[in-house]
Amino acid sequence: MPDHATASSAPAPTLSSKLFAAAREVIPGGVNSPVRAFRNVGGEPFFARRAKGCRVWDVDGRDYIDYIGTWGPAILGHAPTALTNALHEAAKDGVSFGIPNPYEVEMARLIVDWVPSVEKVRMVNSGTEATMSAIRLARGCTGRDKVVKFEGCYHGHVDGLLVAAGSGALTHGRPDSAGVPASYSQETIVLPFNDVAALEELFASLGGQIAAVILEPHPANAGLILPLPGYLQRLRELTRDHGSLLIFDEVMTGFRVARGGVQELTGVIPDLTAMGKVIGGGLPVGAFGGRADLMDQLAPDGPVYQAGTLSGNPLAMVAGLTQLRELERQHGFEVLEAKGAHFEAGVRKLLDELSLGYTFHRCGSLFCLFFTEQPVHNLQDAQSADTEHFRQFFHRALDRGVYFAPSPYETGFISMAHDQSDLDRTLEVMAEALPR
């Protein structure tokens, strides 16, 4: 075919593709967070113009049923009226003070009331800050340096947590990003998730040096992985017996799988908890909290330094408080469980009809369809997924107006704004998009 024929039949560039080209000139990779760039699925991201309820509209006027919900925060759906009204009102009184404000006290009280492990809490501006500060506090309180994390758990882009497993279970980690000094990763030990023997072996040999174990109690950044029965309980025993602190990173699961997160569901109570996402209602918020005797080691009362110009920002507190109270008022956790159960039943029926043996995990409104027939208990299992099938599925769903996360290792989020017809429409799209 002559060149000009190809050129004249090519569709006009979309506004999204023009914006992406412009973005790449001035923003690394064209995005402000890597997963948005669609590198795991190929193609180019669309640019959002507007989002409301369970839908997102792109700059070219197409709309999508959204299962990302701004990566977790939008549990009521996008731009709920109660929240946008509260923000408008609060903004009239000032958008930042840098002076204590009453909303901070309300927010802290709510977190202490809802999250079992938290007696005192400090607000920060992202999940990354929350985990980074919790680790510093754990080291300050124990006088120990080593931190244990798990393969497949993500805790933000903290230097000492961007570490991959070394060659043996007990060796020290290696940097998982350029720019992380090997000496930092030396202080981080990486274990496979759900492996009790590896934990016991580690504590038997190095228990006295471990400041803290940090984990997502339901890992939700390598798909959605659930702890095997007794695993979290054993981890709690081992950390307690060796004087190490247990840190739950509930940035994803907190205020999402239950009011008080996984710790409420399982009754396993950590020493410290990192929070974020849902508590900010879509504004940049994180928090970390825990036992009062530990939290009292923070500046200005204690020797562990931690600070933030915008921490406790009034608009962020209002957004979070409004979202959480609205969720409670609407019996959100029961409603989300019912929506999740409806969706799960539909997915399982569909997989049966298509004779696909894929593994599907769900906890409340979080879900993940792994494109593998093997059970998924850790990162390695998750990585057995067929990435090419996922890639095709993602694009076919997107073309039909359903936006799942552009990576096989992300969790899906159902919000209060996804009604039964949205979920059923999604199942129809999945029926067309799944490989057969």
Ligand X SMILES: *Cc1c(COP(=O)(O)O)cnc(C)c1O
> Which amino acids are annotated catalytic?
154, 249, 277
Q: Which residue has the tokens 């974020």?
A: 276
C-beta separation of 41 from 391 below 8 A:
yes
Say whether residue 66 binds ligand X (CB under 6 A): no
Q: How far is the CB of 25 from ligand X (least distance, A)?
A: 25
C-beta separation of 290 from 117 below 8 A:
yes
Q: Copy the structure tokens of residue 111.
A: 């977190």
**Residue (288 or 393) nearer to ligand X, CB:** 288
**Residue (221 or 313) nearer to ligand X, CB:** 221
Q: How far is the CB of 401 from ligand X (least distance, A)?
A: 26
* Residue 324, number of CB atoms within 10 A of its CB: 22
Query: Hey, which residues between 246 and 275 contact ligand X (CB under 6 A)?
Result: 249, 251-252
**Residue (251 or 405) nearer to ligand X, CB:** 251
Kindly indicate which of the ranges 113-121, 123-131, 355-363, 424-432 contains the residues binding ligand X, using the contact rule CB under 6 A.
123-131
Query: Hey, which residues between 357 and 386 contact ligand X (CB under 6 A)?
Result: none
Q: Which residue has the tokens 């080291």?
A: 139
Closest CA to 420 of 314, 340, 326: 340
Which residues are within 8 A (CB) of 252 and not within 5 positions of it... i.e. 6 or more apart?
72, 216, 218, 220, 221, 277, 366, 411
Say whether residue 126 binds ligand X (CB under 6 A): yes
Residues in contact with ligand X, total (CB under 6 A)? 14
**Residue (104 or 216) nearer to ligand X, CB:** 216
Q: How far is the CB of 222 from ligand X (least distance, A)?
A: 11
Say whether residue 151 binds ligand X (CB under 6 A): no
Mapped onto helix, strand or coil, the DSSP state of residue 150 is strand
C-beta separation of 43 from 395 below 8 A:
yes
**Residue (292 or 307) nearer to ligand X, CB:** 307
DSSP state for residue 173 in the 8-state scheme: P
Say whether residue 73 binds ligand X (CB under 6 A): no
Say whether residue 155 binds ligand X (CB under 6 A): yes
Residue nearest to ligand X (CB): 127
Measured CA to CA, the distance from residue 143 to residue 159 in angstroms comes to: 20
Q: How far is the CB of 162 from ligand X (least distance, A)?
A: 12
Residue 412, strand partner residues? 367
Say whether residue 406 binds ligand X (CB under 6 A): no
Say whether residue 154 binds ligand X (CB under 6 A): yes
Helices (H), 39-143: 81-92, 102-114, 127-142
Say whether residue 156 binds ligand X (CB under 6 A): yes
Q: How far is the CB of 286 from ligand X (least distance, A)?
A: 6
Kindly indicate which of the ranges 59-67, 97-105, 124-132, 182-190 contains the residues binding ligand X, using the contact rule CB under 6 A.
124-132
**Residue (161 or 165) nearer to ligand X, CB:** 161
C-beta separation of 416 from 77 below 8 A:
yes
Write out the DSSP string of 336-396.
Answer: HHHHHHHHHHHHHHHHHHTT---EEEEETTEEEEESSSS--SSHHHHTTS-HHHHHHHHHH
Q: What share of the chain is helix, strand, coil (3-state, %, to 5)?
A: 40, 15, 40
Determine which residue in the list 101, 131, 188, 407 makes contact with ligand X, applying CB under 6 A: 131
Determine which residue in the list 276, 282, 290, 412 makes contact with ligand X, applying CB under 6 A: 276
**Residue (152 or 350) nearer to ligand X, CB:** 152
Interface residues toward ligand X, by CB under 6 A: 126-128, 131, 154-156, 216, 221, 249, 251-252, 276, 286
